[in-house]
Amino acid sequence: MCPPRYSTLAGEPLPLGLSADGVRLRCRARFCSAIASILKGRHSSQSPSTTVKTASQILNQHPILSSRIGLDATMSGNQALNTNSKVAQHADLAISVRGSDWYFAVSAIMGFSTIIFMGMSFTKRESHRLFHYITTSITFVACIAYFTMGADLGQVPIQVEFPRSYDAVSAAGTREIFYVRYIDWAITTPLLLLDLLLTAGLPWPTILMALLADEIMIVTGLVGALTSSSYKWAYWVFGMFAFFYVIYALVIDGRKHAAALGGSVQTTFQRCGVLTIFLWFLYPIAWGVAEGGNLIHPDSEAIMYGILDVLAKPGFGFLLLWGHRDIDPAALGLHIREPGQTKYHGPSGEHGGQHGHLGAGRDGAGPSNGV
């Protein structure tokens, strides 16, 4: 039998169809009845309803006694799992209240970072806010995703390929897979790459190919996580091929273009690129021990992915925007019009197109992401 998400006060599995709150309320009622029986013996003149009311008052007036037996007088704390327990099907092996608390904590970190990044954007001219807006979007999407996971929504139970014998994941028939995590990654990881590749001044064809490879990597990871058989590892391999192309775009193409620009551009790209590559190499390992191999509990999975995402999104964002404080987007080939400006005026007096993008000069020199 699979280990239940909750247990009774005695450590026994919950009765089928009864939530943890139901157990607490049932125990509370029995406890009050027991006290009522004692009081009735001492005060036989009291009516049964008065006796039970008196017993309940005794319990409410002694919170230490109530907490000792696990019967809080009022419901408190994180009730997300209980509230959403009937929203959808739930797996045998799923997050506990501790996992839910952690997801909500990460959501708060993402939300706070979003506010900070948006505030930082207001210190820049509108034509210099591109990287701030991209980075703000990353943490905002992640904030929503982690709130959803904390509420135990956006998930589906999947039959595990490898049942394990040790306590953390023992006898798990189905495991909770958060598909909302992959929706988050499908939106945020291309934006992360866009931040990096635009910083290096890469041309649009190279950027678009890297973004496509990134999307393939995320989609194959999702399909693999939702697959119960050994075929899931084929999708892991497909995803790794796409991942290696992303690494190639960063290490070879990106480093070459950033080195040509030099200065703050090269320094910022190298710092953010090294951080991203290091962290992204850990994600396939995390997938292998969590969704893939069923080696760790979903609570441990939550902690692992949460730490990685905090470093890869808010951590990356602060590092990137700090590096961009002295970088002019025009130096990266991003010629964006100022408000009210009809045409972009280049450094030599050239006039750009109607959309304010200026390409390379006639001899092809100079970086350009323009069209």
Task: With beta carbons less than 8 A apart as the criterion, state whether 140 and 146 touch.
Answer: no
pLDDT of the residue at 37:
56
C-alpha triplet 268, 274, 278: angle, nearest 5° = 150
Q: How far is CA 40 from CA 24, 57, 154, in A?
A: 24, 15, 51
Q: Tell me the average pLDDT of the chain.
A: 79
Task: With beta carbons less than 8 A apart as the criterion, state whether 50 and 23 touch.
Answer: no
**Domains of the chain as residue ranges with CATH:** 87-330 (1.20.1070.10)
Selected residue with higher pLDDT from 85 and 186: 186
Three-state DSSP class for 176? strand
pLDDT greater than 70 at residue 117: yes
**pLDDT tens track for 317-366:** 999 999 998 888 888 888 787 776 666 555 444 444 333 333 444 344 34
Residue 107: pLDDT band (50, 70, 90) is very high
pLDDT greater than 70 at residue 229: yes
Q: Which of 58-67, 140-149, 231-240, 250-259 has the lowest mean pLDDT?
A: 58-67
Q: What is the mean pLDDT of residues 28-37?
A: 53
pLDDT of the residue at 29:
52
Of 99, 106, 93, the closest CA to residue 81 belongs to 99
Q: What whole-number distance in Å separates Cα of residue 236 and Cα of residue 169?
A: 22
pLDDT of the residue at 71:
42
Q: What is the pTM of this model?
A: 0.74
pLDDT of the residue at 346:
53
Q: What whole-number distance in Å separates Cα of residue 113 and Cα of residue 137?
A: 10
Q: Which of 56-70, 178-192, 221-235 has the lowest mean pLDDT?
A: 56-70
Six-digit token pair at 243? 């991942």
What φ, ψ does residue 189 adopt, rounded to 5°? Answer: -70, -35
